Structure 1
Amino acid sequence: MEAIRRPVVVGVDGSEGSLRALDWAVAEAMRSGLPLRVVHASLWEHYEGTHPASDAERPAEEVLAEHLVAQARERARRLGPKVEVAVDVRPEDPVDALIGESHGAATVVLGSRGRGRIAGMLLGSVSLTLANRSHCPVVVVPARAPSTPPWPGRVVVGISDAEKPASAAFFALAHAAARHGELVAVRAWRCPAHEARSHPLLVGSPAAAHHRQAEEHLEAVLAALDPSASSSGVVIQRSVVRGPVHQKLLEAAVGAELLVVGASRSGGRHGHHVPHGHHLGPVNHAMLHYAPCPVAVVPDTYRADVPTAP
């Protein structure tokens, strides 16, 4: 039986940010050999600019939306001539439409900022809400190109305290493999204040012990992630660093093509369940707001098949 080819879905609204998201989604569809689905959703709210001339009996906003996705389709075909492209205009709330799309998508891609009154915000409400509620991985593409050109194929992922690899790690490894690139696994650690009073040069100091434990934990997780250490064909770089997780991930993301973080449905603040969504903690929020590269938010229920090296 032929495997289901779930599409790469990209939300477009005509903004510069959504065009960057479209370009990223086309490249992803080309790498993965998946179809591309371009979606525009709106409640026919007011659009700025001049509406193209058309049938007067149809809502001008609907005509503009169809014009917008047609342009997006042509752009996608120019960038990826071999990519199968479909478009859809949905007269509904963008968040609801894209959450619906996420049930059958491989990935949902969108820009960090949208049109209208939210355009001036660093992270649009649609991007943030979708990252919190999507049923598949969501990739949020920054509105502007990074000041530092990305290192081809570099994917960065944070390794948490969990004993086994999280879904985000499998996603990151698969995407590094698809790029024939490298995976940078970041394990950040901090020494509790009451343990940090010993002199750092003393043998067996608390800081040295925490660093050693972090190294051992990272090796154990990576051994479970890629058991043969070469089956994926990915070069894995280890980064064991002391400091806040969000700070160290942002530093590692400079020059990366993709930064991957996880999202859990298991609980929110103080262990409470988060209804109808994932738990996006402060680290995830920091990545979505400030990362210099596209950020993938991966639900903890996601599982990826990692390509093996030829």
Structure 2
Amino acid sequence: MKAAIVQAFDEPLVVGVDGSEPSLRAVDWAADEAALRGVPLRVVYASLWERYEGAALAQGLGKPSERVRAEDITEGAARRAQARHPDLKVSADVLPEEPEYALVREGRHAGALVLGTRGRSGITELLLGSVSLTVAAHAPCPVIVLRGSHDNQVTPAVRGRVVVGVGGHPEPSAAVRFAFEEARRRGVPLEVIRAWRCPAHETTDPPPPDFVRGCPQSAGDPARLHEEQAAETLETALRDAPEDVAVRRRTVEGHARKVLLDASHEADLLVVGARRREGHLGLQLGRVAHTALHHSACPVAVVPEPM
């Protein structure tokens, strides 16, 4: 199961384009990432234009007008990537199908998928878009969605770190392995974060004076116990950590969603896991991944994890 989900690192990188400025920024970022990995870059445009094009247009132009536009977009994006990295092997393809389905299928033979967002500022930046959300939820490979001020580049590092969140499953995860590889390629430290919380006690009585931030600080200091458990989970998740990547361990009290969003302001890439439930057809994103995709201050890599 795990081998079917975690993709090989020598497979091509795929970037989805639609001619918008965000997708062109994604091409720049994907070209850098592909060059860093030493793998080919595949530029894909997917649209069901045949459903909306009339026969007269198709006969008059020799091709449907949307097909002509799609080819212009992909060819332009491929030239852009090639100009950025002349030695990079770049291919482009136009697929007459729904973008969500086409990109998820492309992910079966990709090291990762790279997608842009709708906008850069204001309320537009908060709208992830149904394509990016659906692909991140269902693709069999890591999906990197470019959020925040990513400066159109992978290297040189702007903030100088990759951040990954460790969840409640203590075993080494696909997300942690992916994060190590990304940090190694960039030559930056990996910050590994385990968020923890002390459950509030169910009582109708007012909290005692020593009740701090939801956790009593007496009677054996349960808060410290929860923090120690978080540290143990962190160490277990890192038991196979490679020695050639500098690791910064952090246990932070608070909701994982908020803790990782705060960390994204100081990261070049935020890595989160998403557990895939076999046979489940619904949206397969947890609250942490869903929040990161909508609000992260840096690009987010959603890495599928087996249940």
**TM-score between both structures, scaled by the size of structure 1:** 0.81
Report the equivalent of 2:138: 133
Residues 143, 64 of structure 1: CA spacing in aligned structure 2 closer, same or farther, 3 A cutoff? Answer: farther
Report the equivalent of 2:263: 252
Tell me the percent identity: 47
d(CA) in 2 for partners of 1:277, 1:176: 32
Report the equivalent of 2:247: 236
Uncovered stretches (5+) of structure 1, i.e. residues with no partner? 48-54, 267-272, 303-310
Tell me the secondary structure at the aligned position of residue 49 of structure 2. coil
Report the equivalent of 1:26: 31
Deviations along 1:23-46, one digit per CA (max 9) or x if unpaired, are: 111011011000000000111189
Deviation at 1:217, TM superposition (A): 2.1
d(CA) in 1 for partners of 2:23, 2:51: 18
d(CA) in 2 for partners of 1:279, 1:42: 24
Tell me the secondary structure at the aligned position of residue 194 of structure 1. coil
Identify which of 230, 235, 243 aligns with 1:214: 230
| Residues 153 and 176, structure 1, Cα contact 8 Å, conserved in 2 | no
d(CA) in 2 for partners of 1:120, 1:292: 10
Summarize the alignment of residues 221-300 of structure 1 with structure 2, pairs less than 5 Å apart: 221-222=237-238, 224-226=239-241, 230=243, 233-266=244-277, 275-276=280-281, 279-300=284-305
How many residues in Structure 1 have an aligned counterpart in Structure 2? 276
Report the equivalent of 1:194: 201
**TM-score between both structures, scaled by the size of structure 2:** 0.82
Identify which of 157, 167, 171 aligns with 1:164: 171
Tell me the secondary structure at the aligned position of residue 193 of structure 1. coil
| Residues 150 and 256, structure 1, Cα contact 8 Å, conserved in 2 | no
Tell me the secondary structure at the aligned position of residue 77 of structure 1. helix
d(CA) in 2 for partners of 1:168, 1:8: 17
d(CA) in 2 for partners of 1:235, 1:5: 23
d(CA) in 2 for partners of 1:136, 1:42: 21
Report the equivalent of 1:269: none
Report the equivalent of 2:109: 104
Residues 211, 4 of structure 1: CA spacing in aligned structure 2 closer, same or farther, 3 A cutoff? Answer: closer
Amino acid at match of 1:239: R
Summarize the alignment of residues 142-181 of structure 1 with structure 2, pairs less than 5 Å apart: 142=147, 145=150, 151-181=158-188
d(CA) in 2 for partners of 1:22, 1:45: 25
| 70-79 vs 56-65, which moves further | 56-65
Amino acid at match of 1:225: D
| Residues 274 and 303, structure 2, Cα contact 8 Å, conserved in 1 | yes
Residues 184, 276 of structure 1: CA spacing in aligned structure 2 closer, same or farther, 3 A cutoff? Answer: same
Deviations along 1:155-189, one digit per CA (max 9) or x if unpaired, are: 11001111211111111111111111111101100
